[in-house]
Amino acid sequence: MEQEVVTLLSRRELDKMRRAGRLAAELLHHLEPMVQPGVSTLEINDEAERWTQAHGAKSAPLGYHGYPKSICTSVNEVVCHGIPNAKQILRTGDIINVDVTLILDGYHGDTSKTFLVGQPSPTAQRLVEVTEKCLYLGIAEVKPGARIGDIGAAIQNYAEPQGFSVVRDFVGHGISHIFHTAPQVPHYGKRGTGLKLRPGMVFTIEPMINEGTHEVKVLKDKWTAITRDRKLSAQFEHTIAVTEEGVEILTSLEATVLA
Ligand code: MF3
Ligand code: CO
Ligand code: CO
């Protein structure tokens, strides 16, 4: 993390985060119909880069700590940070997380979904459903006065009884003009512990849920994180803001941005 102190965003900054978040949601929505058998992960990447530039924004991952592409495409046993590749062709039965982060007017919008390619196994479908539910259960905990541990507890208490595990090595993060900053947002933990949430805090919730062990391993490319047991992993992500009323999802398609 680049800084330890959790900053509260001003109204002006929050408005920029809304615009960036909304555009990131639109990008992910735009890419969704491309996710089909026969398409390469590089084709999805290249369309993301083209669309992002055409909308006056910048891809945040490209060049970030040396990351070589514009989005992350994490297929099957890949937990996160899968690098798009021309030789990686989607096949029916795959699951793929597409994670986009763009910068608009200096502020970041970060969101991802796991898509089904053709018809994956019942277990794969259940993993994806449970993971999406984990994201929304985490979001539902967010309001002023709640603790960061409430988010992880809600996720862990839902995923584990179903036989799945929660990844620990990667967490959600504060985000604003900086891509990854404080606070860290674990997707496991204890209710009533950790940072107290306050209006103006903005961070991601991005649970990675595994079919088998929670343990991950990073490949020699220094980015691709896979499950140690090579079983499936799924992920969903939103960028959210703590508001006086509770929570606002900044990377929702439904979010209205006043002109
Ligand atoms: N979008 C990822 C996240 O949710 C980060 C990708 S960083 C990259 O935090 F360099 F791997 F692209
Ligand atoms: Co993120
Ligand atoms: Co992301």
- Half-sphere CA count of 150, side-chain side, radius 13 A: 15
Local confidence band at 194 (pLDDT 50, 70, 90 cut-offs): very high
What residues does the ion ligand 3 have nearby, CB within 5 Å? 99, 110, 112, 237
Q: Is the peptide bond before 183 cis (omega within 30 degrees of 0)?
A: yes
Range of the domain at 58: 11-258
pLDDT at 4: 79
Residues with CB under 6 A from ligand 1: 61, 64, 67, 72, 81, 99, 101, 110, 204, 206, 223, 237
Number of domains in the chain: 1
Q: Is residue 4 part of a domain?
A: no
Summarize pLDDT for 163-173 with one digit per residue, the tens. 999 999 999 99
Tokens of 228: 């140690």
Q: Is residue 1 part of a domain?
A: no
Summarize pLDDT for 175-193 with one digit per residue, the tens. 999 999 999 999 999 999 9
For the chain, percent of residues with pLDDT exceeding 70: 97
pLDDT at 256: 62
Q: Is residue 251 part of a domain?
A: yes
Rounded to the nearest angstrom, the distance between the alpha carbon of 8 and the centre of ligand 2 is 18
CATH number at residue 156: 3.90.230.10
Q: Is residue 65 part of a domain?
A: yes
Q: Is residue 3 part of a domain?
A: no
Query: Which stretch of DSSP H or E encloses residue 111?
Result: strand 107-116
Q: Are 55 and 100 in contact (CB under 8 A)?
A: no
Q: Is residue 110 part of a domain?
A: yes
A 10 A CB-CB count for 129 gives 13
pLDDT at 255: 67
Q: Is residue 6 part of a domain?
A: no
What is the spatial distance between Cα 23 and Cα 239, in angstroms, rounded to a whole number? Answer: 12
Residue-wise over 153-178: b if at least 16 C-beta within 10 A, else e? bbbbebbeeeebbbbbebbbbbbbbe
